Every structure is written in C-alpha cells, then in structure tokens.
Structure 1
Amino acid sequence: MSQEEKFDSAKDKVAGKAKEVEGKATGDKTREAQGKAQGVLGKAKDKLSDAKDAVKGAVDDLKDKVDKKDKE
C-alpha cells in the first residue's frame, strides 16, 4: 500500500468518524449516516489496496517462476 493510499483511506476513516460523532451529538441522523458511510469507504479502500498488493505479489511470483523456467 502506497503512502498516498494509506493517507487517503485514513483521511476518509477519520473524517467519517468525526461526521458520525457530530451527527450523534447534534441528533442529525443524516450527518451520522454520512459519517458511517465515509468510514466504510475508508475501510473499503484499505481492503482494495491490500487486494491489489496481493495480486501484484502473485503476478511477480508467477513472473519469477516463468523466468526461472525459461533459464533452465
């Protein structure tokens, strides 16, 4: 996960939590729901980035195996 991706997902999670707390404190259910949604978006970005890293790792491993096989 790149630093930019980490920052972006953390920003969404923190901003979402702030909106959620603000909504709870003021009784604004819409704002609270927006905050929850933004927090979920941040978590989803984390998962997507993790999946992207896993796929990249698998592709790199496969390339290494193919290169090694070609050298034999």
Structure 2
Amino acid sequence: MPYVNIKVTKENGGLSKEEKQKLIEGSTRLLQETLGKNPNTTVVTIDEIDMDNWGIGAEQISDRRKKGQ
C-alpha cells in the first residue's frame, strides 16, 4: 500500500478542497502510471504547516516571505 504525505505551507487560508482533490488524484495517478500501484490502496495525506512552524536556513518561512525570498 503506497503512502504519500504532501506537506505545504499554510498561506492565505490554506488550500481549497478542489486543490487538495487535485493533489490526491494526481499523486495517486502518478503512482499507478509510474509504478503500477493499485489506486484503491494508495493513501495520500496533506499537511498544511503554519509558516511559523517551517524553517529553512535557520529562518522561519513567514520571515523569508516578508523579505520576498
């Protein structure tokens, strides 16, 4: 059973239901087409992480975005 975990920063209210559905469908389809995995047993989870809880280069994403990085 394939398990896909997508992590994205939560911005501007987060992903819409439609965007999440596209990510789930696309990930499932990719595993089916590329690796021959059964879509009925593919699990996809999406985690939206607050920008203050995500860091790159010792800096919070929220601060990096304010600087335009």
Q: TM-score, normalised by structure 1?
A: 0.30
- Bigger Rg, structure 1 or 2: 1
Greater fraction of residues in strand: 2
The higher-RCO structure (CA 8 Å, 6+ apart) is 2
Which protein has the bigger helix share?
A: 1
